[in-house]
Amino acid sequence: MGEKVYIVKKMKKEGRGMPLIGDEFPKMKVQTTQGMMKLPKAFKGKWFVLFSHPADFTPVCTTEFVAFQNRYQRFKDLNCELIGLSVDQVFSHLKWIEWIKENLCVDIEFPVIADTGDVANTLGLIHPAKATNTVRAVFIIDPKGIIRAILYYPQELGRNMEEILRMVEGFNQIEEKQVAIPANWPENELIGKGLIIPPPADVESIKKRKDKYKCFDWWLCYRNYYKW
């Protein structure tokens, strides 16, 4: 506990913030449960989700690790990897993963960063009001190493893994088809699994839109997901 308090005081003194959406993910070398890794280089050409948890051997975090692992193949099917993080030593991570396997019959296959505070400092993951623990954050990084989304949760509320999967799938559609994703996609109340066409850039484009796409008006057009 004393070491964690020192880390937090050091971070507050240095006054470091967090990167923003659209920034390059900071280059760093990290110790993980699967050995040393260089980020974002280790996942070059892939999406990856970095998620921090407050601490090992805690109830909500344990349920999250199981939930992430149960969906790990679905993430991989989207060309996406997972990597966890907390300010805990690597032997603590390894013992916790061992406990999950022995008691919950779930084998955690993705790496977990054992942070000394440097990674949490760089990413702005220590909440001043929570003293020593990393917040429950999610960074979604694209194959070029650019941060595309950042999510924050309080310690008391576990994450919705289906939403994180939905976001990664949505980003894949955005990149592949140059579209926008509607609310509650793929079950949007107006267009179901349809994908929104970006706004027109000129008058000529406006004239062609209603013939080419389904439209409520020229500024709100969409295309069927399956007929691309």
Sign of the Cα torsion 54, 57, 59, 64 reads positive
What is the full DSSP assignment across 65-130?
Answer: HHHHHHTHHHHHHTTEEEEEEESS-HHHHHHHHHHHHHHH-----S-EEE-SSHHHHHHT-B-GGG
The values of phi and psi at residue 223, to 5°, are -130, 145
What values do phi and psi take at 41, rounded to 5? -55, -35
From the list 61, 80, 215, 221, the catalytic residue is 61
User: How far is the C-alpha of 112 from the C-alpha of 15, rounded, in Å?
Assistant: 26
In single-letter form, the type of residue at position 138 comes to V
* 105 part of the active site: no
**DSSP, res 15:** T
Partners of 85 in beta bridges: 52, 113
Phi then psi dihedrals of residue 121, to 5 deg: -65, -50
Residues acting as catalytic residues: 61
